[in-house]
Amino acid sequence: MSSLNLDDFTDLIERPDGGVRRDAEARRERLIVPPGSLGRLDDLGEWLAAAQGSVPVRPVERPRVVLFAGDHGVAELGVSARPAGSAAELVREILAGGRPVAVLARRLDVPVRVVDMALDCAPDAFPADVVRHRVRRGSGRIDVEDALTPEEAEAAFRAGVAVADEEADSGTDLVVLGDVSVGGTTAAGVLVAALCGTDASVVTGRGGLAIDDLAWMRKCAAIRDALRRARPVLGDQLQLLAAVGGADLAAMTGFLLQCAVRKVPVVLDGVVAAACALVGQRIAFRAPDWWLAGHSSGEPGQAKALDRMALEPLLDQGVRVGEGAGALLALPLVRAAAALAAELPERTDEPGGEPVKDSMEDFT
C-alpha cells in the first residue's frame, strides 16, 4: 500500500504572508510615484514581498528554468506536428543551446535544468543528471490505456517533489517551469477538460507548431476518448494522472506542490504547466497563491485552466513554442517589479504635513 497521502499538502502549504503583503502595500503608498502608476508591477512587487516574507522585496538573484521531458503514446495518432517519440531531439537541442529557451536563458543568465521522466529513448542517451529520475520509456496511449501504472504515477510524483527539494536546497529563489514533450498538450487538454467539466472541443488547441484541421480533429477525438477514461477517477488525482496524464505531468504536479510547501515561487509556461497546476489546485487549494502565469500561449486549455485558478498571464506575445520560453520572457518583468518595489525612494513630504527629515541637511 502506498504511503503517499496527497491530503498532507493541504496542511503543509501556507499562503504567502498576508501581514508582509500589507506592509508592502503600505510602503508602496509612500513611494514617490503615485499608487497605480506602475500598473501590474505594483501587485507583482507586493506578491513577491509576501512570497519572500520580506519588505522591501529582495531581488530575484537565483532563478532557474526547470523542464520536465517525456513522450506520450497518444502522439501515435498524429495529434502533433512532430513525429511520435521525438521529444529527445528537442532535449538534445536544448542541451546544445540551440532552442529558444536556451538562447533566452543565456541572455538572461539563467541556468536550465532538464529532467527526463519518460523520453522514448535509451536511458543512456543523456547525462546522468538528466535521466536519474526517469520512470519509464514513453507514456501510454491515453485514449485506450493508462498513461502509467499506479506505481509509476507515484514514482513520478515523488520525483517531482524531490526535484523541488533539490532546487529549494540549492538556493533557487524562483522557478520558470515548462515541459519538453510530444503529445503533452493532448494529455493536458484531457486534464483541463476533466477538471473543468467541459467538452473536448473547448480545450483542444493546435499546439506549438499549429497543426492543420485534420490533425486538430484527431486531437479532439483523442481528448474525447481519453475523457471517458478520466471522468470515473476524478476523485483521486494521482489515479487521474496515471490514467490520462503521463510521467512528466505527474512529476510537474508534485514539483509545483512541493515548491509551494518550500515557499519557492513558480512562473508557469504553457498549457501543460497550467494543467498540472490545475491538478495541484484540486489537491491543495492554497497552492496557486505561489504561482504566476508567465504568458498566454493561445491554447484554449491554458486559458480555461488559468481562469479556473484566477491567474492572469503577465505577457501575451503569441509565443507557442513551449519549453518554458514564453514564461522565461516574463522573468525580466518580475525582476523589474522587485527592483522598483525595493529601490524607489519614499516621499520626503507627507501630504498636509511637515517634510520628512531623511538627511543631515534637513536638520541644518
- Residue 323 annotated in active site: yes
3-state secondary structure the chain: CCCCCCCHHHHHCCCCCHHHHHHHHHHHHCECCCCCCCCHHHHHHHHHHHHHCCCCCCCCCCEEEEEEEEEEHHHHHCCCCCCCCCHHHHHHHHHCCCCHHHHHHHHHCCCEEEEEEECCCCHHHCCHHHHCCCCCCCECCCCCCCCCCHHHHHHHHHHHHHHHHHHHHCCCCEEEEEEEEECHHHHHHHHHHHHHCCCHHHHCCCCCCCCCHHHHHHHHHHHHHHHHHHHHHCCCHHHHHHHHCCHHHHHHHHHHHHHHHCCCCEEECCHHHHHHHHHHHHHCCCHHHHEEECECCCCHHHHHHHHHHCCCCCECCCCCCCCCHHHHHCHHHHHHHHHHHHHCCECCECCCCCECCCCHHHHC
Catalytic residue among 29, 151, 323, 361: 323
Owner of C-alpha cell 502595500: 25
188: left (phi over 0), alpha (psi -120 to 50) or beta: alpha
Residue numbers annotated as active site:
323
